[in-house]
Chains A and B, each alone.
Chain A
Amino acid sequence: MALLVLLPVLALIEIAAQGSGDLWPHLIENVLPVALQQTLLLLLGVGVLTTLMAVPCAWLVATCRFPGRAALDWALLLPLAVPSYIVAYSYLDVLHPLGPVQSALRFLLGISSPRGLRLPDLRSIGGCIFVLSVVLYPYVYLSARASFLVQSAAALEVARTLGAGRLRTFLRIAIPLARPAIVAGVTLALLETLGDIGASEFLGMRTLTVSIYTTWVNRSNLPGAAQIALVMLLLVLVIILGERAARRSRRFVATGSTRPQAPTQLTGLAAWGACLFCALPVLLGFAVPLAHLTLAAAQRIEFSGISLDILKEARNSALLATAGMLVTVSLGLVVAVAQRVDRSRITGAFVRLAGLGYAIPGTVLAIGLLTPMAAFDNLLDGFARQLAGVSTGLLISGSGGALILAYGIRFLTIPASGVEAGYAKLSPHLDMAARSLGCTRGAMVRQVHLPLLRTALATAALIVFVDGMKELPATLLLRPLGFETLATHIYAEAARSTYEDGALAALVIVLVGLIPVILLARISRSAAEGAARPSSSSKSGT
């Protein structure tokens, strides 16, 4: 399985090796300093801002009562349904001098010409951090909330009894307890940031991923692009190892009862403040882009009607996302199970490798896959022609099979780490008990593990589905003849900068994405509440 993830990486190394090193003096002097600096600033900014938005929200929603809490609880996940490139397009329109915000501002200030007022440009590192953070914070929110929900009331109550204020308890007890979960969420957000091409390129960033594109597309230098991609993989390894280290150094277990805390009722100013604070991310990451898209789509429909192609594209997107999800979750399950039942170092190393796919930019992954896959297809075609006199054509790379495989590799880490985290809550004693009662390993996984992992699996499946709906770069390169998805439709419109024509497709992506996100919200809460019930305190094993 890990070999599958390694396949494009190996192909990448092979492609990189075909290039001479003569690109490097130029890259080191003119490209990498800026690319590294911008990438690191972006990672830092997104890491800090998503944490600042998501962690307090997760804490408030999980432990307090205030107006709107029940709705915000799930609404905070909604930005997951919106691709970052769509949010970037929307905000550029909304914040443009001719857009609603600046127009209203000029009206209020009595300025008649747009030349009379110049606000900071969204096309800046700050703007990019803002856009990526408002779409990516739900990853942090999701895992932080789950952690806060299961935190034992006892520890927090002891702190309160000892005279710590509410804020102090949050900062000194709750946050450290939730740290591994927060780090896991931030890691996902950072990997998304690293691989982002749509929003970053659109907002004028020069990140490593954008540099890979430039080197490949404008200088027609695939080996050079592969070489930069390998540098980027190193950065990914650092992030992943960092996350592992953070998790290893702090392993907290609840001992004894994990009675959930009684929610604190907030009143007056505090209550409304909490409501506003939690509503803000939803407003910025979801409501504003959705309102803009709805308006833009309505204008387009009025102007040029609806093309029925969009239904076909929506079906294609959903089909692809579903197939990708099934393959990815199956692969992820195998990886996580292998690690559970076979605790050897080699398996562990392979599992870590599985995480790499997520951080390979889709385009590079696609190129890495195309080469070996097409070679296989050609080999098969050659055999078939020789033996039977028929041509099989491009069996995998021409059929969408390549695309599904690419999804599998790219998103493998989501189910793999999700299931792994699910396993972490199942005491090894459970395995010993099962084995001593005569279960085979297979039966143990089927009859004991799978039912207990149901929630983790469903959560991973939904996230992969949403990501599959949004996926652009690999789809763009690997889809079969005449096969368009909503994302490629938007991209084609954006490529000729007629993105207003893509507004409807963008709206459909968001609306289709909403269903799994709402399901996700339900599952994650019931799971967390289930886990916090005293009866399930068996998780305190490790």
Chain B
Amino acid sequence: MLRSIGRRLFLAACGTAMLVGTASAQQVVNVYTTREPALAAPLFEAFTKATGITVNSVFVKDGLAERVKAEGAASPADLLMTVDVGNLLDVVDAGVIQPVESKVLSDAIPANLRDPQGNWFALSMRARLIYAAKDMPKLTSFHYEDLSDPKWKGKICIRSGQHPYNIGLTAAYIVHYGEAKTEAWLRGLKANLARKATGGDREGARDIMGGICDIAVGNSYYVGLMRSGAGGPDQKKWGEAIDVVLPTFENGGTHVNVSGAAVAKNAPNKANAVKLLEFAVSPQMQAVYAKQNMEYPVLAGAEIDPIIAALGPLKIDSVSLVEVAKARKKASELMDKVGFDN
């Protein structure tokens, strides 16, 4: 038995090696993604249908940059997709990607949503919003700054301060106001928490319904996923138990983060990777890709899901995404310093 399994493993290993070795002949593109494969699947399927190129994907939750770096020259990775601008900069910093020049991409994606050197490209956006209990006076407008207002003491739910979504928001705060003011804001927010900073964004809505908190911080697409009923009847109830407010910075707009992609440095199928990227920014695919996770498309004029459109007009914050990504480390350290998750 041992021998037969050993033989099977060896054959499997050889099989994989041959698959990788002859990949270019078979017209494939290998995608390493930190985005859950189910969310990108419709894009991949449409791409295969349109071009005949097979998409192999692997979900790499953490350690994308390290994995590709370690794999080195023999890495089968062609395209690296991430759910966060910070991870995009990580793969750039790790030196595992190569720049791409493509008029299709630079025409479709606004300049602030891609790297000037062509190192990475955003494909969709999500906004960080406020969920509010229905049984309290309606909030007509809300500023991120208000989260530290003592009037919310014991009333706010939020996920871990170290989660990339909250790190992104805090990093944007740093870019707006500097470190000292951000630290004071975080201390105020921490003092306002109704429970430990943990769980997911959707649990903010569930906990509002469960009477634990009055407001919660959560992403736009979760509202769409809950209210659409795609997650089941329970989640539909949570989504309908909340009002949603699009907050802004007092002197800016709503904080957004992006999902995006970069072409791997040693991509064996570089041309196919670029083709997939260009395919992803076509108007039709932008709508499909964004809609799959109820996000905002990056292509101006592409269709937005009606549930998301109904949340109101999105005014994107003016600070540069790259600046925000650079402030992430500081944001993470401030979270530790104020003991946000303790």
B315 interface residue per 8 A CB criterion = no
Residue pair B211, A113 in contact (C-beta under 8 Å): yes
Q: Which of A334-381 contact B (CB under 8 A)?
A: 363, 366-367, 370-371, 373-375, 377-378, 381
B319 interface residue per 8 A CB criterion = no
CB neighbours of A497 from chain B (8 A): 199-203, 222
* Given A30-B333, A220-B90, CB of A367 within 8 Å of CB of B209: no
B2 interface residue per 8 A CB criterion = yes
Residue pair A393, B20 in contact (C-beta under 8 Å): yes
How long is the Cα–Cα vector from A498 to B73 in the complex, in angstroms? 36
Q: Which of B138-187 contact A (CB under 8 A)?
A: 160, 162, 164, 167
Segment with Cβ contacts to B, from A279-287, A440-448, A450-458, A474-482 = A474-482
Point out the residue from A202, A322, A501 that lies within 8 Å of B5, measured CB to CB.
A322
Segment with Cβ contacts to B, from A47-55, A148-156, A209-217, A527-535 = A209-217
Q: Is the interface of A mostly helix, strand, loop or mixed?
A: helix
Residue pair A399, B16 in contact (C-beta under 8 Å): yes
CB neighbours of A479 from chain B (8 A): 58
Residue pair B13, A323 in contact (C-beta under 8 Å): no
Number of interface residues of B (CB under 8 A): 73
Closest to B337 in A: A30
Point out the residue from A118, A330, A404, A477 that lies within 8 Å of B62, measured CB to CB.
A477
Closest to A215 in B: B332
CB neighbours of A396 from chain B (8 A): 13
Residue pair B57, A482 in contact (C-beta under 8 Å): yes
Residue pair B210, A31 in contact (C-beta under 8 Å): no
How long is the Cα–Cα vector from A492 to B62 in the complex, in angstroms? 12
Residue pair A397, B17 in contact (C-beta under 8 Å): no
CB neighbours of B160 from chain A (8 A): 204
Point out the residue from A96, A299, A491 that lies within 8 Å of B210, measured CB to CB.
A96
Point out the residue from B71, B196, B206 that lies within 8 Å of A397, measured CB to CB.
B71
CB neighbours of A500 from chain B (8 A): 231-232, 234
CB neighbours of B328 from chain A (8 A): 218-219
How long is the Cα–Cα vector from A220 to B201 in the complex, in angstroms? 23
* Given A377-B74, A390-B21, A496-B36, CB of A203 within 8 Å of CB of B198: yes
Closest to A479 in B: B58
Q: Which of A184-213 contact B (CB under 8 A)?
A: 202-204, 206, 213
CB neighbours of A391 from chain B (8 A): 17, 20-21, 74
A257 interface residue per 8 A CB criterion = no
What distance in Å separates the Cβ of A465 from its nearest Cβ neighbour in chain B?
A: 13
How long is the Cα–Cα vector from A390 to B20 in the complex, in angstroms? 11
* Given A30-B333, A123-B199, A399-B16, CB of A115 within 8 Å of CB of B9: no
Residue pair B231, A498 in contact (C-beta under 8 Å): yes
Q: Which of B56-88 contact A (CB under 8 A)?
A: 56-63, 65-67, 70-76, 86
Instruction: Mark contacts of A384-402 with chain B using CB atoms, 8 A cut-off: 1 yes-contact digit, 0 otherwise.
Output: 0000001111111111110
B250 interface residue per 8 A CB criterion = no
Instruction: Mark contacts of B27-47 with chain A using CB atoms, 8 A cut-off: 1 yes-contact digit, 0 otherwise.
Output: 000100000111100000000
* Given A322-B5, A492-B36, CB of A378 within 8 Å of CB of B73: yes
CB neighbours of A114 from chain B (8 A): 209-212
A227 interface residue per 8 A CB criterion = no
Given contacts A204-B198, A374-B72, A479-B58, 7 further A-B contacts (CB under 8 A): A97-B210, A123-B196, A204-B160, A399-B9, A399-B12, A481-B57, A495-B36
Going nearest first, the 3 A-B pairs with the smallest beta carbon separation are A497-B200, A204-B198, A97-B210
